[in-house]
Structure formats: C-alpha cells, structure tokens
Amino acid sequence: MPPGAELRLAGFGRRLGAFALDLVFIVVIAVAGAAVGASLIGAAVPGSTVIPAAGQNLPLVLIGQLIDLLSLIAPPFVYPAIGWHAGATPGMRILGLRVVDARSGDRLTWGQSMLRTAGWWWSLLTLGAGFVPVLADRWRRDLPDWMASSLVLAVRPLPLVWIPAPYGWTMGPARPPQPAPLIPTARDATEPQATRASWTWTDVVPVLITLFPVMFGANWLAEASAQGLRISAGSGGAVALTYADEIAVYGASLLLIVVLVRGRRHTPLTALGLRLPAWPWLAAGLPLGFAAYFLQEVGGGISRIILPAANTTNQCVGIRGEFGGSVVLTLLAVAVIAPVSEEIIFRGFTFRWLQGRLPLWGAVLVSAAIFSAAHAGWAEPSLFLPVFLGGVLLAYVYAKSRSVWPGVIIHMTINIVAVILILAVSGC
C-alpha cells in the first residue's frame, strides 16, 4: 500500500469494474492460448484439425491440443486463485483493491484462495446471485467472501496538507491512517499444523499390501464364477458379480482399517476424517470436482505426448463391459461406492499417516503416487499422471478441510463426468 493511504471497505462499483477487467484478461488469455494451440495443430496437419495418421506430426498435434485445453481451464480457475493469494488480481490492482483475511488482515492462504475461487464459480453459475449480497451486507461481503472468510478493501489516499518539517514545510497526510476495517468475529481461517496419527507404518503397509491380492483374488473369483455359471458379459448376473467383487475389495480394506485404528490403536474413527468440515469446504466440492476433472485431462494430454503409443482405452472398455452400459448401475458403483471407500483408504488412512511425518507437500505427493499406483497406473502407464494429479488435489483438500467429505464430493464429480462421457461417447 502506498504511503499516505489507508484501507477502507470497497464499494460495489469499483469491485464490479475490477471483475470486468479480470474477465477481459481471462478471455484474452484463453483466446491467445487457443490461437497458439490451433496454429500448432494447423502446422502439423495443414488445412485440418483432425489428429494425423501414423507417420505424421502427432506430437505437435498433441501439444496443440494440450495448449487448447490449458487455455480453456487455466484462466478461469488458476488466474483468480493465484491473484487472490497474492493479495489482488490484476484487475483489482489497477483499481486499487486488495483482498485480505477478514479476521487478521493477512494475505489469503492457498486454502482460502481455493474456497474463494469455488465461491466465485458458484456466483457465476447462479447468474451473479452470489455477488448480490455485497449490496446489503454491512461488511460488503459476497458469497466468495463468506466462503473464504475474506474482505475486499480499497486503497484510499489521505487528504494532504502542509505540515512543518525540519527544513521547512512539506506536504503530508492530514491525519494518521486508520486501521483497516476487519471482523474480529469472522471465521478463523488459521490452518493448524498437522499432528501425527496414532497408527504407524506397521498398520498402513499391511492394508496397502493386501489391497492388491484382495483385488486380484476378487477379480479372479468373479471371472471364474462367471465362466462356471456361463454368465455372459453385461448380463444381470455379471453385473451382480462385479458389485460383489467391488464390495469385497473395498469392504476387506475398510474392515482391516477399522480393526487397526479402532481395535489396535484405540483411536476414534473421526481421526480418519469422518467428520463434517466447515460448510465452505462442502460447498467447494462441486466446483473443485470440475477443476480436478480438467486437471486430470491435462495430465492425460501430457501422457499422450510422452507415451503416444500407450493404450488408453482399457478403463473405458472395462466400465462398459462390467456394468452392461447401464448409467445408473455404473454411477452407483463408480461414483458412490468407490469415492467413499477410496477417500477413507487413501486420504483418511494413508495420507493422514504421512501427515506430520513428512512436510505437507511431501505427504501430498507420496500419497498421490500410492493412489495412482492403485488405479492401474502400474498396468496402464498413461493413467498414472492424470490420476496422480487428481490425487494431489484430493490430498491437499483433505489437509486443509481435515475431513474426507469434501474429497468424496470432488471424487464423485470426477467419476460422474467421466462415466457420462465414457457411456455417451461411442468407439472408446
């Protein structure tokens, strides 16, 4: 903040102007990125945007498609989050606005920036309804401010007067700047340091080691039963066996976790994150879920560049075959049972064990690698990076919310979008 100025609550007009400027910047960045991507594709396949056949410049096309994807998703998600974490977006800086923590006046943490971005998206999805409360709220807050526990302040220059100085008269502020208007009763956004979980590697390793044999054993038993009973793929009997297979895998792992955490360590199950978080994290689940899906798409684009010959259709074919193409049955298994179970196993149990034993980002990256390896990253290498990136976001959200339920909503959103696209797009 420049000398001779103070921070006051920002008015609606200036906030609207900053929003309009940022929207222009976002559109310009997106259009420029799309133009670069299109030019790369056009250079690889002159006169066409179709993926070239074998022998043509496939890597250049894939890079162009990746840039197109980044230009579509990075500006509206990354641009505001980075700007708010830095104290103001470019549009806000031009108009002399700052965004701060409502309680302390400090810069927003990354967790608060994520929540504010989610509130921003909810406001856009409701055709601006989330921005309207700023007109009536005493502290001029809107939905993004409520979710992030933030305030938007304006830099106001103080009136200048002539004041005596050691060597004559000089211009200076007529009065000392008043403290910024903060809200002492606002939600405390302090992020406490993670403590060590009571369970140790002697608890975690058995769960992770037995996960793969149980998975293989359940799959083998389901296939053997289908062959013995002469059940055709996609039939009602095959779907029932698939559900039995999934329940056996997740059920065995969850039961072992309960025995180890509750029975061996005498720790309440709330330590796994089975608690309700602050409401903004639940509300952020859906927008962050779409962000996570696009993040995985970016990872998939990078994987196609690095591993252009890898087969990326196994998961698609598996989902189509296991559930007979039924959207309802597939969503129940992939978008309900799997997210709840996996968030408890990989975030509430595995990541929670790593917390306090490794720095935050070390725990996030290690847990994401384990999560990706368990999702066929070992059998289908092209899946490793996209699932890894999704695991990074899920672990970070768990660390900030201290609950598995925001991750469950994010995980459900990812899987619902993926399932709908898999069952709706032919030829996968």
**CA-closest candidate to residue 403, choices 292, 285, 316:** 285
d(CA 375, CA 384): 8
CB-based burial label for 182 (10 Å; 0-12, 13-18, 19+): middle
pLDDT band at 312 (very low <50, low <70, confident <90, very high): low
Residues 6+ positions from 316 with CB-CB distance below 8 Å: 422, 428
SS3 248: helix
Instruction: Kindly provide the b/e burial profile for residues 65-93, where b requires at least 16 CB atoms within 10 angstroms of the residue's own CB.
Output: bbbbbbbbbbbbbebbbebbbebbbebbb
Q: Which residue has the higher pLDDT, 248 or 288?
A: 288
Q: What is the pLDDT of residues 62-119, one digit of tens each?
A: 787 788 878 878 888 889 999 999 999 999 999 999 999 999 999 999 999 999 999 9
Q: What is the pLDDT of residues 201-228, one digit of tens each?
A: 999 998 888 776 666 665 556 555 545 5
d(CA 348, CA 340): 10
CB-based burial label for 251 (10 Å; 0-12, 13-18, 19+): middle
d(CA 95, CA 88): 10
d(CA 120, CA 147): 9
Domain ranges within the chain, ordered by starting residue: 5-173, 201-424
- CA 206-210-215 angle, to 5 degrees, is 155
Give pLDDT, residue 233: 47
Does this model's pTM top 0.75? My answer is: yes
DSSP state of 107: P
Residues 6+ positions from 74 with CB-CB distance below 8 Å: 29, 33
Over residues 42-71, the mean pLDDT reads 65
Which strand (E) or helix (H) includes residue 283?
helix 279-283
d(CA 381, CA 389): 14
Show the tokens assigned to 380. Answer: 């289908």
**pLDDT mean across residues, the chain:** 83
45-54, 207-216, 315-324, 375-384: segment of lowest average pLDDT:
45-54
pLDDT band at 41 (very low <50, low <70, confident <90, very high): confident
Letter for the amino acid at 153?
Answer: L
